[in-house]
């Protein structure tokens, strides 16, 4: 897209894009480290994830300030307006993803006692899938590719399926050995957090679609609901 006649307007928008890219990179690293920490029971790595959360929060505050300023001083219109509004929403999605990654990292020491390698493997597998979704949606955002965003959006069904089977498996462990209930409950929270991150990725995909086309994706997405199965 061509530059604005007022060049500082383009610079403002570029700065905002830069902030979002930094938030995305940070969220991606936090998530992949949190997943690795769970899979390898690496407490030290988990702590670094928790320690990084304030950075993403600070970036979100910074991005929101810039967006407010842009709206007040530049009055963006058309695609500029959509870009600004979607940046506001994506920043909040990424901040939530950071929170959820932190929450996963915090549970590393709590699931430490589980003697169920297959359940941990299942979580790691689901984590990889969600991580790939996050990476793809962030790539789609930086390239503004609606097709790629659409693929992330429809692929969330796979994440839901993983969550559902993991849920069944962990419940089985709890029934077999009630002493593991506490640790298994934390593992379920980890799985639930991953599933939520998947949802945030689809929200970002919807924002990309809106930014580029000006149209909303349908509100209903193919869904597998663990509560109805």
Partner 1 sequence: MSRMETIAPPRPQVAHAAARNVAGATKVHAKNVSVFYGDKQALFDVSLDMPEKSVTSLIGPSGCGKSTFLRSINRMNDTIPGCRVVGEIAIDGENINDKSIDPVLLRAQVGMVFQKPNPFPKSIFDNVAYGVRLHGLASSKKELEQIVETSLHKAGLWDEVKDRLSAPGMSLSGGQQQRLVIARAIAVSPEIILMDEPCSALDPIATAKIEELIDELKANYCIIIVTHSMAQAARVSQQTAFFHLGKLIEAGPTEQIFTNPRDTRTQDYITGRFG
The residue ranges that bind partner 1 (CB under 8 A) are 1-6, 9, 75-82, 213-215
| Closer CB to partner 1, 82 or 128, in the complex | 82
- Cα–Cα dist 143/145, whole Å: 5
Q: Single out the residue of 114, 98, 112 nearest to residue 25, CA to CA.
A: 98
The least distance separating partner 1 from the CB of residue 4, rounded to whole angstroms, comes to: 5
How far apart are CB 210 and partner 1 at their closest, in Å? Answer: 9
| 108, two tokens | 């590393």
Phi/psi at 3 (5° precision): -75, 155
Shorter beta-carbon distance to partner 1: residue 195 or 207: 207
Spatial distance between the Cα atoms of 57 and 95, rounded to a whole number of angstroms: 6
Task: Compute the least distance from the CB of residue 10 to partner 1, in Å.
Answer: 9
Instruction: Extract the tokens encoding 183.
Output: 């640790």
- Residue with Cβ nearer partner 1 (9 or 189): 9
Least spacing, CB of residue 109 vs partner 1, in Å: 49
For partner 1, the closer of residues 81 and 132 by Cβ is 81
Residue recorded with tokens 């007022």: 6
- Give me the least distance between CB of 77 and partner 1, in Å please: 5
Cα–Cα separations (whole angstroms), residue 129 to 69, 96, 117: 37, 18, 18
Residue closer to partner 1, measured from CB, 76 or 98: 76
Q: Is the dihedral of CA 173, 178, 179, 180 positive or negative?
A: positive
Q: How many CB atoms are closer than 10 A to CB 104?
A: 30
């Amino acid at each position: 897209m061509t530059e604005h006649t007022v060049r500082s307007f383009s610079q403002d928008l570029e700065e905002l894009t830069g902030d979002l890219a930094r938030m995305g990179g940070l969220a991606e690293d936090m998530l992949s480290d949190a997943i690795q920490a769970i899979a390898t029971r690496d407490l030290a790595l988990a702590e670094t994830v928790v320690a990084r959360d304030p950075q993403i929060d600070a970036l979100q505050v910074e991005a929101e300030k810039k967006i407010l300023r842009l709206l007040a001083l530049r009055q963006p219109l058309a695609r500029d307006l959509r870009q600004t509004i979607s940046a506001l929403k994506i920043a909040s999605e990424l901040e939530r993803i950071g929170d959820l990654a932190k929450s996963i990292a915090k549970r590393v020491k709590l699931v430490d006692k589980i003697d169920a390698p297959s359940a941990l493997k299942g979580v790691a597998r689901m984590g990889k899938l969600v991580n790939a979704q996050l990476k793809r949606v962030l790539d789609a955002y930086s390239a503004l590719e609606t097709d790629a965003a659409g693929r992330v959006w429809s692929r969330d069904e796979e994440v839901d399926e993983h969550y559902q089977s993991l849920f069944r498996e962990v419940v089985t462990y709890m029934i077999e050995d009630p002493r593991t209930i506490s640790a298994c409950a934390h593992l379920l929270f980890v799985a639930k957090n991953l599933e939520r991150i998947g949802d945030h990725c689809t929200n970002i995909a919807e924002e990309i679609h809106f930014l580029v086309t000006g149209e909303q994706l349908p509100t209903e997405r193919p869904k597998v609901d663990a509560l109805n199965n």
